[in-house]
Chains A and B, each alone.
Chain A
């Protein structure tokens, strides 16, 4: 009996304790490796780019974490690192770790370097598209792709024309719709006209007039009948007036439809013109074509980090779901439950940064920066995340204010004396090397309203051209236009609703390139534009002509019908009234 009631296997306590001790020893031995791998995994998942750590040492007794050789790849560029750090020392609160909360009181980061080259492609979000980072990256790419900047096609000096698909012209469906509307108006007006039933009224009035012609002044019945006929005629005329008003309104709509056809034709001209693969030869359009693609990139990158911050540092205290840890089993979603007056899940109270810019140059410059209040729960921390850095020819600052319901993210930087990489001018085998330039970036995202500015100024621009460009006459002329210009002043501005902001790009080269292009390509472009207009006309005139004629016919027919009936009514009324006057006139002897 006692054997059956035995619940605990007391002899197993020893082996279990031994097992737990072994597990503890293993954890102690491999804690650094586990923490290093987990940090790499979580960092990679958060940023959407490979995070590599050479060495990580946990010293929980003293609340310290030491990281050596941190490398974070760029989420946007394949063989470039976002940053590298020689050493990071973090002071952490140990007690919140039991609540799975990481509170870092202070980080000292030394030897930070930005934009260093790497041997392998470190992009993760861009290649896999998974997780929050993957989604944000896809969103920002789609956002950037909305800026349809026409690309210069000047390499051969020929104006290229894409085929014109009639299905993409807006005039043809508009003309079809207007024709249908004209027909339906015609039917409606005819039905309304028939419902007036003017025939009996006119017939009875004619009969009354005939009787009145042979009546005497004492024939009261004939007089009354004539008066009633006049009343009926007046009422019929009111009905005709009402119908006429309707017809006039309908005709106005049809006329506006005709005007709409003209607008659609202009749009089709513009569409056909866009197939020329040549931007407008106006200076602002030239600026957008030459520098637009390069100017969008910094905005796209800043927006990526801002949107990531908004996802990982949302305002408010509602539960937040994010993708769970990657494992063999389904990751699921991990939901956080922030609580007022409790610690946030992640907080860096203060970070002191010491970094180098242009580390590969002969004289790399040293800078210092400070980051405060980086947290996963800004509403709990109660203060915005702030960053500032300064040094020789550098002033940079950023603030992520997610404390209130509508987040406001701002960033600004001015960096001088930095050699920017040379880039190809789109569509032209021409390379622009800005040299040592001053770069400015201003960015504000207030809720869903964006306002951003990116500017580059340089006084020692160098132009180089491809060998294939040498034989091109246009190439030579463009080369002449720009090669003598050593100053560069480019400014791109973005403003408006985040989903559809307005982009404006201007540069000091716009006018020079535009005037040269106009001189060289003006006639060719004009001829090509005329050709495109003729093609549009040939496609739409067959549709628009009959519709225009039909609209005029319907309109004229309805108006003529009304005018005719109105004239008959007026005439009969006039005759009746005149005869009545004759009969009722008092004749003095």
Chain B
């Protein structure tokens, strides 16, 4: 229940933050990386660092993460297939062999079919997802955003103490 409230708070918080639609979309896209790929991998430390360091919506990142975790689970067979096809492609064997025998790179688990497949999928989906989200957020703010801001439900959600914690990280 707490997670759900937090998710709704994140959603409203992000949609009505002072950040631009681009910042929010970029945050969600970075969060999508965390959700789509298996979490405990080195590349996700980099993604998390980018989420914190870049001037993107951190709440959007959390929202993207929460939204894309189930998508990741659902698409795991597809990621497995993509990763399998890439890792066992004869034309790419030289590249993978070089990467596998470099320092640090193997710690990313790139040689796992699900990790590589999901990462490639996330990279390919990043730009279209960013453009789509930026357009959607802008449309939302222009159309129904102000009415939602005035609603009792929104006021109740944002009045919660958890929202105050969120505000520390808003863009």
Contact = CB atoms under 8 A, between A and B. Distances in A.
A329 B114 CA distance: 9
A101 B111 CA distance: 14
B160 interface: no
Contacts of B38: 327, 329
A334 B100 contact: no
A533 B78 CA distance: 61
B112 A324 contact: yes
A1 interface: no
B52 A319 contact: no
Given A9-B53, A9-B54, A335 B101 contact: no
A334 B111 contact: yes
Contacts of B40: 327
Given A327-B38, A337-B93, A16 B54 contact: no
Interface string A2-22: 001011110011011001000
Taking residues whose C-beta sits less than 8 angstroms from the other chain, chain A's interface range is 20 to 34
Contacts of B117: 332
A337 B53 contact: no
A530 B43 CA distance: 77
A15 B106 CA distance: 28
B55 A6 contact: yes
A100 interface: yes
Contact of B72 (A99, A329, A338): A329
A321 interface: yes
B112 A332 contact: yes
Given A12-B52, A333-B112, A337-B97, A99 B106 contact: yes
Interface residues of B, number: 38
A98 interface: yes
A339 B112 contact: no
A95 to B, nearest CB: 8
Given A9-B54, A98-B104, A321-B88, A332 B93 contact: no
A312 to B, nearest CB: 16
Interface string B95-109: 011111111101101
B77 interface: yes
Contacts of A336: 100, 111
B98 to A, nearest CB: 8
A335 B84 CA distance: 9
A330 interface: yes
Contacts of A342: 101
A220 interface: no
Contact of A337 (B52, B72, B100): B100
Contacts of A333: 80, 83-84, 112-113
A331 interface: yes
B171 to A, nearest CB: 8
Given A335-B87, A337-B96, A16 B52 contact: yes
A100 B53 CA distance: 28
Contacts of A329: 38, 72-73, 76, 114
Nearest to B22: A4
- Count chain B CB atoms within 10 A of each CB in A98, A100, A337 and give the residue with the most: A337
Nearest to A10: B53
Interface string B67-79: 0000011001101
A336 B96 CA distance: 9
B32 to A, nearest CB: 15
A13 B55 CA distance: 12
B52 A98 contact: no
B115 interface: yes
Interface string B157-171: 000000000000001
B55 A9 contact: yes
B49 interface: yes
Interface of A: 4, 6-9, 12-13, 15-16, 19, 98-101, 319, 321, 324-325, 327, 329-339, 342
Given A329-B114, A332-B112, 18 more contacts: A7-B54, A16-B49, A16-B53, A319-B87, A324-B113, A325-B112, A327-B40, A329-B73, A332-B76, A332-B117, A333-B80, A333-B83, A333-B84, A334-B113, A335-B96, A335-B111, A336-B100, A339-B97
12 contacts: A7-B55, A9-B55, A324-B113, A327-B40, A332-B76, A332-B117, A333-B80, A333-B83, A334-B111, A335-B96, A335-B113, A339-B98
5 pairs of A and B residues whose beta carbons are closest in the complex: A332-B114, A100-B106, A332-B113, A330-B76, A337-B100
